Structure 1
Amino acid sequence: MLNTLEYGSRTDEPDLLIVHGLYGSGRNWGAVAKRLAPERRIVSVDQRNHGHSPWFDSHSYHDMARDLAEVIEAQGAPMDVMGHSMGGKASMILALTRPDLVNRLIVADIAPVQYTHDQNQFIAAMRAVDLSRVEKRSDAIDQLAQNVDDPTLRSFFTQSLDLNGRKWRLNLDVLEAEMPKVIGFPEISGNFEGRTLFLSGSESDYVTPEHRPRIRELFPKARFAKITGAGHWLHAEKPREFVQSVQAWLNATSAQASNS
């Protein structure tokens, strides 16, 4: 089973499962989880081939959805699910294939479509780091600067670095081989009838008006919101606004459910 981190205690609100994106981990979401935890229990996962979770030879969205289903089943009740980027796609497949496990769905800055951007350049950058010369995280950040321009990304990548073992907690070989699946989205029919929020950064181009017909086909109750001034990494760039948006939508939909 996937490695999980838990925050807070069970309340009258459903538990919330947080699913990170490519090259991330559950720990990356600690600040957001702690801010959300007073109102609900939070479970944050390390996805397969990431963090402290097991490594596998495959990395498809159906694989990831089955992993998430196993986590929710172990909790003993359906959960609200929030996924970012790759985690958002995995969460969408989970909701479409196992709607019995998902109360509400929050998809952070991703659409159920094929993208053209390849993320393998970052795998090459991580492989280029001479781990034998890394004593502290800043050493790796300095080396990454040769190939990664964005300082936020350099810091983000090194959160998946095991300093003691001098290795990446990312299955770089499989992620590289499976990248076409990661940037794609499986052909799938049916829809998820639960309440769904697509929350995007106003400066991001990952979710565009052209994507909305397909989104509404799969998620007929979808609602859309944007965080002003945020890009694809909206939860890291605008954490307070991100948490406020998530809390407001969860509270509003809880009130609607209780009044219906």
Structure 2
Amino acid sequence: MQLNFKKSGQGKPLIILHGLFGSADNWMGIAKNLEEDYTLYLVDQRNHGDSPHSEEWNYEAMAEDLRELLDAEGLESVYLLGHSMGGKTAMKMALMYPKRVKKLVVADIAPRAYPVHHQTILKALNAVDPEKLKSRKEAEDILAQYIAERGIRQFLLKNLTRSEGGFAWKINLPVITQQIENVGEAIDSEKPFENPVLFMGGANSDYIQEKDKADIERIFPENHLVYIKNAGHWLHAEQPDAVVATLKAFLDA
């Protein structure tokens, strides 16, 4: 699958993958602070952003999408960063094609399986009929019946785009709804990834826990685990300066 991406900067190639319900734009602020030393590829994963939709939606397929992108861009090996769902795609890519990944950065996710916990968001999104909307405000009012946090509503509404005569979701909402369990699947391999890996967690997040360290050590033995202070799951939005500094220290080492 030919993914949509935004390319900027100069230097060593760094690919950045967003999380569930996200898009390439989510990491734009971080990318702007890395453009002097890296060629940034901000990618829309399948069924997200401006990339194609597909009935097949799992980490193996998303890793293959990434390999196709590297092949199309003539990139033999890259630095690879993924957040949340994107972090699992990045781990899968590194394990499937270890020679294509120089260094791996996994933002606030561990290799283990996670229980599905997006039901409320999916209910909210499916309550919106974009073809009948007259305004974005109308969509937000519907989401507000399910989601109290305005920041989350605004994040989700980035997926709403103008279409002929109204609006449409950029995300493939039916497939994401039907296959949401795939997002929580564990990433595992009998053969470990031997190159350096940075696990970057939010200090206020519970996505990377003490119990995860054994799996991380087994699958990614050359790992570094860093927690970003005063940050939750959205560490790149909450503490961008600390994230940029941590990334540079790891990638430039």
Q: Which range, TM-score by smaller chain? A: over 0.9
Look up the equivalent residue of 1:16 and give its one-letter code: L
Query: Which residue does the alignment assign to 1:39?
Result: 37
CA contact (8 A) 2:17 2:83 kept: yes
TM-score, structure 1 normalization: 0.91
Query: Which residue does the alignment assign to 2:105?
Result: 106
Query: Which residue does the alignment assign to 2:127?
Result: 128
CA distance in 2, matches of 1:133, 1:174: 22
CA distance in 1, matches of 2:129, 2:173: 15
Render the CA deviation track for 1:25-82: whole Å, top value 9, x for unaligned: 1112111111111211100110000111111112111011111111112222211000
Look up the equivalent residue of 1:249 and give its one-letter code: F
RMSD: 1.4
TM-superposed CA distance for 1:86, in Å, is 0.3
Query: Which residue does the alignment assign to 1:198?
Result: 199
Look up the equivalent residue of 1:199 and give its one-letter code: M
TM-score, structure 2 normalization: 0.94
TM-superposed CA distance for 1:130, in Å, is 4.2
CA distance in 2, matches of 1:142, 1:239: 30
Question: Bigger shift: 104-113 or 30-39?
Answer: 30-39
Q: Which runs of 5+ in 1 are unaligned?
A: 254-260
Query: Which residue does the alignment assign to 2:53?
Result: 55
CA contact (8 A) 2:202 2:232 kept: yes
TM-superposed CA distance for 1:163, in Å, is 2.7
CA distance in 2, matches of 1:43, 1:209: 32
CA contact (8 A) 1:15 1:42 kept: yes
Query: Which residue does the alignment assign to 2:96?
Result: 97
CA contact (8 A) 2:188 2:219 kept: no
Distance 1:123 1:22, change over 3 A: same
Query: Which residue does the alignment assign to 1:7?
Result: 8
CA contact (8 A) 1:24 1:51 kept: yes
Query: Which residue does the alignment assign to 1:178?
Result: 179
Residues paired across the two proteins, number: 248
TM-superposed CA distance for 1:129, in Å, is 2.3
CA distance in 2, matches of 1:241, 1:142: 34
> Secondary structure of 1:110's partner?
coil
Render the CA deviation track for 1:199-226: whole Å, top value 9, x for unaligned: 0000000001110110111101000001
CA distance in 2, matches of 1:167, 1:118: 24
TM-superposed CA distance for 1:120, in Å, is 3.0
Q: Tell me the percent identity.
A: 38
CA contact (8 A) 1:61 1:185 kept: no
CA distance in 2, matches of 1:236, 1:8: 20
Query: Which residue does the alignment assign to 1:258?
Result: none
Query: Which residue does the alignment assign to 1:75?
Result: 73
TM-superposed CA distance for 1:186, in Å, is 4.4
Q: How does 1:225-244 map to 2 (within 5 A)?
A: 225-244=226-245
Check if 1:17 corresponds to 2:15: yes
Check if 1:212 corresponds to 2:213: yes
TM-superposed CA distance for 1:187, in Å, is 4.5
TM-superposed CA distance for 1:108, in Å, is 0.0
Query: Which residue does the alignment assign to 2:148?
Result: 149
Q: Which runs of 5+ in 2 are unaligned?
A: none
CA distance in 1, matches of 2:168, 2:123: 14
CA contact (8 A) 1:58 1:178 kept: no
